Amino acid sequence: MLRAFFLAIGISAFVLGLECLVIEKAVLNPSREGTTGALAQVAPAYREVVPAEWAPWSLLSGGAVVMLYSFTLPAKMRS
Task: For the full predicted model, state whether its pTM sits above 0.75.
Answer: no
**pLDDT tens digit sequence for 5-53:** 999 999 999 999 999 999 999 888 776 665 565 555 665 678 888 999 9
Domain borders along the chain are 2-28+41-72
**pLDDT tens digit sequence for 63-73:** 999 999 999 98
DSSP bridge partners of 27:
48
Q: Using the predicted structure, report yes or no on whether residue 56 has a pLDDT greater than 80.
A: yes
Cα(79)–Cα(41) distance, integer angstroms: 58
What is the rounded average pLDDT of the residues 54-69?
96
Q: Is 14:59 a contact under the CB 8 Å cutoff?
A: yes
